Structure 1
């Protein structure tokens, strides 16, 4: 009897030891699979993508992205985990190709719903049409500041099924957020809070009138304030979706860089340590990095890559205990296109191409480049500035300026160097309107010097100027600029004189860190869209027998060494 009891006790002890080695299933960490996308910018179709990964000896160029292939990849990964969550880090729409932009980006929002996007932070480009348009895109309806585009693809637009998040965008008067700050999602029986934020500098890069009455708060402070509220709801796992980015020389697929730089880094450093994962956007870079104990990811842009992320969450505490992330290039052919999404893309193409294929005018060269010599002028910058000036002449305009980032792609021509409507729209997709104002010669001189404020020229490039306006500049060892020899139509700029200046409404509000434009007086809101001024200019130049696109014989902006 004693022997039998001893045997039973030994067996029980061995069973207990075995239990310690292999915890019950309900005590093992939960494995949560995420896929992250950022900065899609309405790229419904695949585009060329050049990259160099860890294993590549030379750069590779492939066709990557496209909603049909993205859907195919997601379908394959959901077979591995049916509870996989697709999330975003902003700029899903805005600065989009004509295929999406001509329909107020409604086809892209519908495509994201088909992909199963759960939530995304708002990005700065979600505010391109202002608060009213962002809320319409979320909730539906046809009351839009872009009536020529909204509800034109489908007569009834129902809004996005996924949720936009913005913890740091509030009403100036009430302090209330205009979008939800977070959403709690559940997978594998655990709760995860996805918190959204957009760069606090959004007001500098969107049209001021569209965000009147809004404040963009510090990103880290807005996030940290939410954690007690979330913990009270039983949440211990926090993921930040932030439309702000960084940069690194480390390859996009290397795990994990420790040299991330840029505006995102100080934000991450000030986050509550419980935020173990930051999914970022805005800088259009691919990276997998660590900032302290926090994993920070970004998946380039345009749907070229997706971030696959695995979270291990402790079931007892609800906290993230491990993060594994990798970036995957979504190369055409690597994943079979998902049939329903491919059929939808085909329908968008068919509807769009009839309109986009319409010819506009012949230009002088197959491609007018938006790329300049360093931060100086470009052939396309000259062309757009000239088109702006021509359209604004009835309002007394004497000179026009154009921001380089407002020109999104090279102006490409088809057979016979004929530009189509779609190719023109790809160049100027924002639908900005032209404003004419008075500035003194002294204000114009100050404006030119503002181009080098805080080294922003390295990011935004110099303003592009219209024909007849020239100047020279010199940079000292500290990067401070001295502007000289400013002329208009051959005459030196008179600091005391008043000049009529034409710009788009984005610049007119003082955006892109050009506050001088906001001081312009005697304003004329022309209502002329920049794309209409461009196409009218191309038509007129062809009619005159001088097709547009050739660079000027002499540069308008010259750097003195």
Structure 2
């Protein structure tokens, strides 16, 4: 029998064993290696199933114009990107629906939601236009069903609306009574072992973008504070990086595809500066701009509007240290000539177009020109704005209206006659004003009218109201805020506007309630809801002018707004 080993002889063997065995056990667990996560983001899609005109300057400064966007090209782009990375995440920056052209709006935007589901969208922040029809309609669109304030549109494309498969998020949209969030504050996605949290926020002053009825029972919180409040919970869940998705934006003079631009301005900048420093990427929206900017160390992107651009982000993440190492972004042009639609999306688009054609293709009236542009000149005047304001005054003059003013946000497109087209169609006209507003006549003193014009200058820039032919004025860009309008320049039917006199002004119902921060209109003590629809007023005007042998519309703005140059007096 062998003699037992002494303690002194055992000790060297133990040390040898410890030296040979890796720390942590019998087999070393490898650390997770950094991974790349790809995202594709769109914002302000607004139900644009078909491509629309997109103008931009190329690297040499040449102005280019082409049709871009649409669900077909978007599906082709996604298919190409997913062939390279099957785990790519498709996300939205809000306003995916609402303010839509009639091809989507006439079906309560259900075909657009169906398309986004087929494209495997994972999440989107709530935008202001998602709430155009109020909370109950949005909840129906999300959850499914047919009980709708729009029974003439809901469940007409398909007999049952099944709801959507992606998640709407908004940390700062809460029930006014309970204080609870209407939608989840965030969604966490797992890709290649990395956990990415997306936290959403709609613009805090969303109530200025909607009617009082649409915001009934809801309120919003500060965007940055609401997002920051989610950070401790997310870190406790072990997320590796946090992406803020904010339906608020800015603008920059730099090109839509300029990497790391540094001239971003607007409300989104202040929001980003107040975010938790652990948030390094912000997807923005609302302002319909394309940019790839840096605000300090934070990458802030936006993909224009209507699906004509899409932002491709690549996040390099270290799951071991729960850290974002690097973030890069590109804005891609969604070009239908390059990206062919998938079979499923192509079939959906054809079905929508076929079923809509009988209504939307109906010819209405001739125009005086081949194109009435939506674009604004240096003074802030638009040919399409002129046309709409003239139509609204024509509809309400018999009720005593002297002037009509319409807001630029209510004008969604211009009018263009395609080659061989003699008359503009119902679908084209309906695309210009999709909000179904009624016309309201308010009474303002001359001083209030001038104050209203001063409210065109807001935090996010100059938002020029479009006047009817009966009204004109001048403004001076060299003057300080609150004094831009040249006081004695206001004219109604060629006569000076006097501060103490009363004037009857036609506006749409959204403006009449103080929408777009036009508080002067909400304070008007005399108002008449005419019950007249803004779109019907435009159609009636176009047809009446055509019947009279003088079709409406101009290629250039009419010069009703005059901008003084360099502060020089008027001639």
TM exceeding 0.5: yes
Q: Secondary structure at the match of 2:517?
A: coil
2:414 match: 410
**In the alignment, which residue of structure 2 is the partner of 1:161?**
165
Aligned to 2:471: 469
Q: Following TM superposition, by how much is the alpha carbon of 1:139 offset from its aligned partner in structure 2, in angstroms? A: 2.1
Q: Measure how far apart 1:514 and its partner are.
A: 1.4
Contact 1:438 1:498 in 2 (8 A): yes
CA-CA distance at 1:396 after TM superposition: 3.7
CA shift for structure 1 position 500: 3.1
Q: Distance in 1 between matches of 2:356 and 2:522?
A: 37
Q: Does 1:276 align with 2:280?
A: yes
**TM-fit CA distance, 1:424:** 0.3
Separation (CA, whole Å) in 2 of partners of 1:225 and 1:431: 37
**Alignment-derived partner of residue 329 in structure 2:** 325
1:516 offset after TM fit, Å? 0.8
Q: Report if aligned partners of 1:395, 1:524 keep a CA contact under 8 Å in 2.
A: no
- Output one character per residue of 1:445-493: Cα deviation in whole Å (capped at 9) or x when no partner: 3323433x4476x5312x2222333444555543622222544345544
| Superimposed CA distance per residue, residues 168-220 of structure 1 (whole angstroms, 9 cap, x where no aligned partner) | 12233332222211112222233221111122232222223311343222211
Alignment of 1:9-28 (within 5 A): 27-28=32-33
In structure 2, the CA distance between the partners of 1:459 and 1:124, relative to structure 1 (3 Å rule), is farther
In structure 2, do the counterparts of structure 1 residues 459 and 552 end up closer, same or farther at CA, with 3 Å as the change threshold? closer
Q: CA separation in 2, counterparts of 1:165 and 1:535?
A: 38
1:344 and 2:344 aligned: no
Q: Which has the higher helix share?
A: 1
Give yes or no for contact 1:360–1:418 (8 Å, CA) kept in 2: yes
Find out whether 1:37 has 2:39 as its counterpart: no
Higher CA-based Rg: 2
In the other structure, the counterpart of 2:112 is: 108
Larger deviation, residues 494-503 vs 332-341? 494-503
SS in 2 for 1:104: coil
Alpha-carbon distance in 1 for matches of 2:270, 2:126: 20
Residue of structure 1 equivalent to 2:430? 425
Q: CA deviation at 1:538?
A: 1.1
Structural mapping, 1:91-490, within 5 Å: 91-393=95-397, 395-414=399-418, 415=420, 417-451=422-456, 453-454=457-458, 458-461=461-464, 463-474=465-476, 476-478=478-480, 480=483, 481-490=485-494
- Secondary structure (helix, strand or coil) at the match of 1:409 reads coil
Q: Is the 8 A contact 2:75 2:341 kept in 1?
A: yes
Aligned-pair CA distance for 1:32:
2.3
> Compared with structure 1, are the counterparts of its residues 61 and 542 closer, same or farther at alpha carbon in structure 2 (3 Å cutoff)?
closer
Q: Indicate the SS of the match to 2:137.
A: helix
| Contact 1:475–1:482, Cα closer than 8 Å, also in 2 | no
Post-superposition offset of 1:394 = 5.2
Structure 2, unpaired ranges of 5+: 1-15, 23-27, 565-569
Number of aligned residues: 544
Secondary structure, aligned partner of 1:446:
helix
Q: Match for 2:514 among 487, 506, 510? A: 510
Return closer, same or farther for 1:57/1:520 CA change in 2, 3 Å cut-off: closer
Comparing 259-268 with 45-54, greater Cα deviation is found at 45-54
1:356-404 Cα offsets, whole Å, 9 max, x none, are: 1101112222222333432343332222112112323454433321112
Report the Cα distance in structure 2 between the residues aligned to 1:63 and 1:467, rounded to whole angstroms: 32
Task: Return closer, same or farther for 1:129/1:345 CA change in 2, 3 Å cut-off.
Answer: same
Given that 2:473 and 2:486 are in contact with CA atoms closer than 8 Å, whether structure 1 keeps it comes out as no
Unaligned runs of 5+ in 1: 1-8, 17-22
Q: Does the 8 A contact of 1:366 with 1:417 survive in 2? A: no
Q: For the residues of structure 1 that align with 2:32 and 2:559, how far apart are their CA atoms?
A: 70
* Deviation of 1:263 (Å): 2.0
- Equivalent-residue separation in structure 1 for 2:494 and 2:167 (angstroms): 55
Structure 1 residues 332, 552: closer, same or farther in 2, change over 3 A? closer
- Which region of structure 1 is more displaced relative to structure 2, 329-338 or 543-552? 543-552
Moved more, 337-346 or 312-321: 312-321
CA distance in 2, matches of 1:432, 1:126: 16
| Conserved 8 A contact 1:89-1:120 | yes
CA contact (8 A) 1:132 1:210 kept: no
What is the CA distance between 1:24 and its match in structure 2? 6.6
Structure 1 residues 405, 274: CA separation in 2 closer, same or farther (over 3 Å shift)? same
Contact preservation (8 Å) 1:27, 1:316: yes
User: How large is the RMSD of aligned CA atoms in angstroms?
Assistant: 3.1
